[in-house]
Structure 1
Amino acid sequence: MSNTTTILAELMKYMNEHDLNISNLARKSKMNPGTVSGLVNGNRKFSVYQLDRITEAMGHPVGYYYERYIPECLADASPNWRRMSPFLESCAKLNKLDCIQQVVNMLLDKLGYADPLFELAERFFQGNRYEAAAILYENVALSENKQHSERLALCQYRLFQSRQGANREKSYEAAVQFEYFVDRLEESYQLEALKDLVNTYRTLRKWEKVHKFAKVLGNLAEAQMKSERKHQNVEEDILKNQSSPPTFAYWAFSHLLQAEVCYVKKDYEQALKHNYAYSDLSWVKETDESSLKWKHQYETWSKANIYVNKLMSGQASVLPDYVAYFSTRKDEILTALDNIIDAANQYNINVDDILMQFEPEILSLLEEQKGGGVYNQQFITERFTHFTKQLAVYFLRKEIYSKGFTFLLKCLEKSAAINNKSYILENVRLFESFRENASFETKAARWTDMKNKLALSLLMYY
């Protein structure tokens, strides 16, 4: 299609080449003959629905004429939102992001379009069309004159959510940008937004940030709990909003996170204090289904985390109880095995029998890692990468080199995929330490390929 040829000219040419009259075209496009007549005679503009029907009748894929549709049918002095909105929705479905940006650019200097653009962005976001939604949110944010407005903060929250993914640097940049807006959100969004923000920093191992926002989360949750106690219908309010955890769950999560920060700093005594803080939630009086579920969940997690902190302080005697605890909890197996192998490497504990017991689960994890429950996909991927590195260390030190290099290469492959440069470098150093024990195939083939990827990654970084 020529850039200087209109859609109508293309249609007329098609009708002439295929000897079609208006009635024939109406049947082929499954539209009313009167409608088709108005389009062909230039008496009415195409709606996006009509354009799609005509496009398919002409043998082209839907969206073929979208770039031409914008200047021909949408570029009016007074834009028609009833025509633009369905077009934007069609563009989102087809992932024609450039077209969305063109239409939004036309509306930037027009008054009154921030509201419908925001509402459409929310529909895109709820439909998991995050890239399309992000374009709208970015432009609505730019149009906001009130820099402390709640809608501006919500736009920034949605942009933060839509930018979370495998790329660590982009996730971090999105988190840093959003943290300046989190306290401007409506109260109903703040707890969940803080939870999302701190989970991102947790995944990225930015522990100072985790500590900072975990305390903010706990303080806000405590303040909201005090406010809730002043109302008589708290349980009724909870039942109305079953999609969100009860407020005490955010308070408990704050202590869980602070315990994890202490754990990372190897301050296991302080970590245990935080774990004991949320281990007993008998003071929570709500008895609705959601509250009971979260009470049980945190009491369960506290038991696991108490085992972990005792184990990481060198108390290997808790291993049997810890294994019995997580062996029936599928979602906890990766995290638990990672903790065990980490402790084994630190304190030279033999855990061969545990690794043998969970060998099917380990092999399954090597094939695919899925997020679930409280753990998002980004967290699971990060945890799996750490786990495979620790397994490599464990087996290489025990001179079981075939397994050691298998896990080392798997860790390096995953590290390159998520652009984790620190893990990549650690794997390179570990390989060099045991290079003389590597098989010829490992040296000549897969490792060479991985080192090439490393070189490219570092080159792009610097």
Structure 2
Amino acid sequence: MKHTPTIRAELDRYLQQEGMSLTQFGHIAGMNRGIVSAIVTGNKTMSVNQLDLIITEAMDLPEGYFYYLFVENYIIDHPPNMRRIEPFLYRCAELDKLGVIRRVVGAIMDNLLYSPKLFEIAEELLSQGRHAAALLLYEGVAEAEKYQHSERLAVCQYRIFTIQIGDDQSQNLKAATLFEPFVERLDEIDQLDALKDLANVYRSLRKWDKVDEMAKKMRAKAEIQYILKHQQKNQERNEAAKKLSRPMFVYITYADLLCASVCDARGDYQQALQYTYAYADLDWVRETDDDTIYWVEMYQDWARCNIYVNKLLSGDVSVLSDYVEYIAETADTMEGEKLSKLLNVMIAANQYNLDVDDVLSRFKKDIDAFTQLPTSTDMYSQQVVPDYIAWFGYELAYYYLNRERYSDGFKQLLFAMVKSHIINNETYFINCIGLFMRFQVYATPEIKTEFSNLIEKVWVGNVEKNRTVNCCE
């Protein structure tokens, strides 16, 4: 039978090897002889702070060197003590010792009594930006409570969803699908942000039926909450509403905006206009604070923009010049919004064979900056904007290639392919390949080589990712 080594044994071996007394060692470690003696003899448990002193100050070993042994010696072999475990988990998070955290969670989560504290620690780690460590704790709590149907379980699943959302759209779809059944278990207020985040992920995936479903659920719930918010003597609900990332009314108007985007995607521009007119009319909003005024003005601006867009995409190209002037007037808006506005110009240009060279020249500096858009924790900026960047590159490539501007066209096409691969959007990637094949006769040898290298890189990556096959009956 294999015995697990102990920190005590390692320390005793070190003392003998160095010919060092307990007093000498204690002096180096900054601990008195009695504490060192108690640790070596096993009469005293060790804190993570004492372990760090022994490792870093006295034994000159890397930080976290004995952490796996600490779990075995002082957590698994003892009744779980959160006063010892909590600082240890924070320290593991600082050192990115994710395997150790996983071991601790696995060792103690058979007992549901530890769920509240681990959840609290996970929330604190999330607020510190230590997402990988927090994720392990949320997953542990969720696994332990999977049969409890608790609100804490739903919040864990929400946190897991938001942490896991990233560049890979296939993984994002999986994360959204796994989280969606838990939305109804969240607090009624939290459901609004959850539905908003799900809608934005589905929007980036172009799952329009799901966007429509999430938007309509969000609107119905937000309308109820808004009415309740303004009922007399409802201070508790008003306090709960402060948890939201937006003013309450925004969830109603954003639902209309999402429904309009669904109609746009389906080519129903007249219905999209009706939704746009709905979120342009905000006379019903009761609040008058600065945050509300900011969002009201934002929606009125978006409505003005999208009225132009719906008319333009429905074939009324007479509004193009007014729309371009509007883009110029609002040049100080967020870059993500400028991207979507110019994307609409390119979609219309390709759909109706419009010459927009003057527009591209006018906004060249902005277009060049799209590749450097900053990342954000907001789900729209994190998911929809990268999708628009890849889409814009494709539309720009299509425009240039069809106008025999092959150098510019292939440059944009390769850029769009790279971005599509990064976000794992197979539809965009395949569309880019098809566009390249149509115009490949005009590609230079260097462009063909770059194209082939990219295809091979993607192929090799897919082979590596899908190499293993699980056996089954």
Note whether the superposition's TM-score is higher than 0.5. yes
When residues 202 and 121 of structure 1 are mapped into structure 2, their CA distance, relative to the original with a 3 A threshold, is same
Q: Secondary structure in 1 aligned to 2:113?
A: coil
Q: Is the 8 A contact 2:101 2:136 kept in 1?
A: yes
Q: Does 1:265 align with 2:266?
A: yes
Bigger RCO (CA 8 Å, 6+ sep): 2
Deviation readout 1:360-397 (Å, 9 max, x if unpaired): 22222235554487732222211100010111101001
- The residue correspondences of 1:3-402 to structure 2 (distance < 5 A) are 5-57=5-57, 58-144=59-145, 147-231=148-232, 237=238, 241=242, 244-326=245-327, 327-331=331-335, 332-367=337-372, 370-371=375-376, 375-402=380-407
Contact 2:176–2:198 (CA under 8 A) maintained in structure 1: yes
Asked whether the 8 Å contact 2:273–2:307 carries over to 1, the reply is yes
Q: Secondary structure at the match of 2:380?
A: coil
Report the more deviating stretch, 182-191 or 317-326: 317-326
AA aligned to 1:132 is A
Give the superposed CA RMSD. 2.5
SS at match of 1:180: helix
Contact 1:371–1:380 (8 Å) recurs in 2: no
1:188 is displaced (CA, Å) by 2.2
Provide the C-alpha distance between the structure 2 equivalents of 1:393 and 1:294, rounded to a whole number of angstroms: 36
Q: Once the 2 structures are TM-superposed, how far is the Cα of residue 244 of structure 1 from its aligned partner?
A: 2.9
Q: Judging changes above 3 Å, is the alpha-carbon distance between structure 1 residues 235 and 145 closer, same or farther for their aligned structure 2 residues?
A: closer
Cα separation, partners in 2 of 1:360 and 1:461, compared to 1, 3 Å: farther
Alpha-carbon offset, residue 214 of structure 1: 0.5
Question: For residues 111 and 349 of structure 1, do their structure 2 counterparts lie closer, same or farther at Cα, with a shift above 3 Å needed?
Answer: closer
> Structure 1 residues 333 and 455 mapped into 2: Cα distance closer, same or farther (>3 Å)?
same
How many angstroms apart in 2 are the aligned matches of 1:191 and 1:146? 24
- Is the alpha carbon distance of 1:350 and 1:123 closer, same or farther for their aligned partners in structure 2, counting shifts above 3 Å? same
Give the deviation of 1:434 after TM superposition. Answer: 0.6
The farther-off stretch of 320-329 and 293-302 is 320-329
Question: With structure 1 as the length reference, what TM-score do the two structures score?
Answer: 0.93
Distance 1:3 1:200, change over 3 A: farther
* CA shift digits 1:24-76 (9 cap, x unpaired): 43343344454334323433122111111211122222111111111111113
Residue 395 of structure 1 aligns with an amino acid whose one-letter code is Y
Per-residue deviation at 1:128?
2.4
Residue in structure 2 matching 1:405, options 402, 405, 410:
410
Which of 258-267 and 225-234 deviates more?
Answer: 225-234
Match of 2:460 among 436, 456, 459: 456
SS in 2 for 1:128: coil
Identical amino acids, percent of aligned pairs: 42
CA distance in 2, matches of 1:221, 1:286: 15
Work out the CA distance in 2 between the residues paired with 1:169 and 1:195. Answer: 19
1:8 to 1:146, Cα distance in 2 relative to 1, 3 A? closer
Tell me the SS of whatever aligns to 1:423: helix
Secondary structure class of the residue paired with 1:434: helix
**Any unmatched runs of 5+ in structure 1?**
none
Q: Distance in 1 between matches of 2:415 and 2:182?
A: 38
**Greater alpha carbon shift after TM alignment, 170-179 vs 359-368:** 359-368
Once the 2 structures are TM-superposed, how far is the Cα of residue 436 of structure 1 from its aligned partner?
Answer: 0.8
Counterpart amino acid of residue 70 in structure 1 = V
Q: Which runs of 5+ in 2 are unaligned?
A: 468-473
Deviations 1:402-426 (A, max 9, x none): 1100011111111122221111211
Contact 1:163 1:171 in 2 (8 A): yes
Aligned-pair distance for 1:23? 3.9
Question: Are the structure 2 counterparts of residues 301 and 28 from structure 1 closer, same or farther at C-alpha, using a change threshold of 3 Å?
Answer: farther
Shift of 1:166: 0.8
TM-score for both structures, normalised by structure 2:
0.90
Contact 1:278 1:302 survives alignment (8 Å): yes
